[in-house]
């Protein structure tokens, strides 16, 4: 019997706060949420809720980042103007992020006027922020349309091989099934093996391109940032293709 069991995650709204979003590169409103998990069998809870942590979802780019409620003085119940929310939730924002805001301002005025170190750090930042999303993808099996099509295609190839044996002499039957089976299985394995690569191209590349657009980075600069991340052990550094980011920046 197939038993449905595992862990489920619940998110509870804590309120709206304001903070700097490294992907939007500006002050943004965030929805602060408490994240809890519990065990279940057939979706019936079998354990108490345990606190996993907090997350804040940027209302500009919708990315969920790690949240720390203690960092904020208060959380507004309703979303309002960001200037109003920052005054209530993070009054020290301009003190804390003053230097970063100056960098963003000089980038707006003259994109080529930044020092090489600052430019390198700014190019690397979105990949560092997006890295946990890629790491999490390795731990889960999400079925996209390519995997669905490969499963259907794999079955079709095996069925075709079975049909072919009707017309082939008996001594070719084993070889025909072996080739059909290997092709069908190969197709399914390929679809699963390349699933993270497709996720990165679909979900990560457009986000990175949006953040990097004001910097107008070259393919070499992106490749250098990703190589650094790869050396630090981030999987995003090995799987993301710099060329895809450059193309997305040009198209965006």
Q: How many other CB atoms sit within 10 Å of the CB of residue 136?
A: 9
Q: How many other CB atoms sit within 10 Å of the CB of residue 18?
A: 25
Number of H helices, E strands in the chain: 11, 5
Structure tokens at 179: 């080739």
Which one of residues 35, 52, 61, 121 is an interface residue with Zn ion (CB under 5 A)?
A: 61
| Backbone torsions φ then ψ of 169, nearest 5 degrees | -65, 155
Choose the stretch contacting Zn ion; rule: CB under 5 A; options: 15-23, 31-39, 69-77, 204-212.
Answer: 15-23
**Number of amino acids touching Zn ion (CB under 5 A):** 6
114 binds Zn ion (CB under 5 A): no
SS3 letters across 158-196: HHHHHHHCCCCCHHHHHHHHHHHHHHHHHHHHHHHHCHH
Specify the residue, 60 or 181, whose C-beta has the smaller distance to Zn ion. Answer: 60
65, 56 contact by CB (below 8 A) = yes
Residues 24-53 that bind Zn ion (CB under 5 A): 24
CB 101, min distance to Zn ion, A: 15
Choose the stretch contacting Zn ion; rule: CB under 5 A; options: 12-20, 35-43, 56-64, 93-101.
Answer: 56-64
Specify the residue, 56 or 119, whose C-beta has the smaller distance to Zn ion. Answer: 56
Choose the stretch contacting Zn ion; rule: CB under 5 A; options: 3-11, 20-28, 117-125, 220-228.
Answer: 20-28
Specify the residue, 21 or 225, whose C-beta has the smaller distance to Zn ion. Answer: 21
130 binds Zn ion (CB under 5 A): no
CB 161, min distance to Zn ion, A: 51
133 binds Zn ion (CB under 5 A): no
239, 197 contact by CB (below 8 A) = yes
Which one of residues 17, 18, 23, 27 is an interface residue with Zn ion (CB under 5 A)?
A: 23
200 binds Zn ion (CB under 5 A): no
| DSSP annotation of 61 | T
Nearest to 154 by CA among 183, 177, 197: 183
SS3 15: strand
CA distance 174 to 178: 6
CB 197, min distance to Zn ion, A: 25
123 binds Zn ion (CB under 5 A): no
Exposure of 71 in the CB half-sphere (CA atoms within 13 A): 16
58 binds Zn ion (CB under 5 A): yes
Binding site for Zn ion (CB under 5 A): 21, 23-24, 58, 60-61
């Amino acid at each position: 019997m197939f038993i449905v069991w595992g862990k489920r995650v619940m998110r509870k709204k804590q309120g709206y706060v304001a903070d700097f979003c490294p992907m939007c590169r500006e002050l943004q409103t965030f929805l602060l949420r408490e994240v809890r998990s519990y065990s279940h069998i057939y979706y019936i809870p079998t354990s108490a809720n345990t606190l996993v942590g907090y997350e804040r979802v940027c209302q500009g780019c919708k990315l969920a980042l790690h949240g720390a409620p203690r960092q904020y003085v208060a959380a507004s119940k309703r979303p309002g103007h960001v200037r109003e929310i920052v005054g209530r939730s993070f009054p020290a924002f301009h003190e804390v992020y003053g230097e970063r805001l100056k960098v963003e301002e000089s980038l707006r005025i003259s994109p080529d006027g930044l020092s090489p170190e600052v430019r390198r750090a700014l190019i690397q930042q979105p990949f560092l922020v997006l890295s946990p999303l890629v790491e999490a993808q390795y731990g889960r099996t999400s079925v996209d349309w390519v995997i669905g099509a490969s499963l259907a295609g794999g079955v079709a190839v095996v069925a075709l091989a079975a049909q072919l044996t009707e017309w082939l002499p008996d001594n070719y039957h084993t070889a025909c099934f072996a080739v059909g089976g290997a092709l069908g299985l190969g197709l399914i394995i390929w679809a699963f093996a390349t699933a993270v690569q497709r996720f990165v191209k679909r979900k990560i590349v457009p986000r990175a391109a949006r953040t990097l657009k004001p910097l107008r980075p070259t393919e070499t600069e992106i490749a250098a940032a990703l190589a650094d991340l790869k050396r630090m052990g981030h999987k995003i550094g090995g799987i993301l293709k710099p060329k895809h980011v450059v193309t997305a920046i040009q198209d965006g």
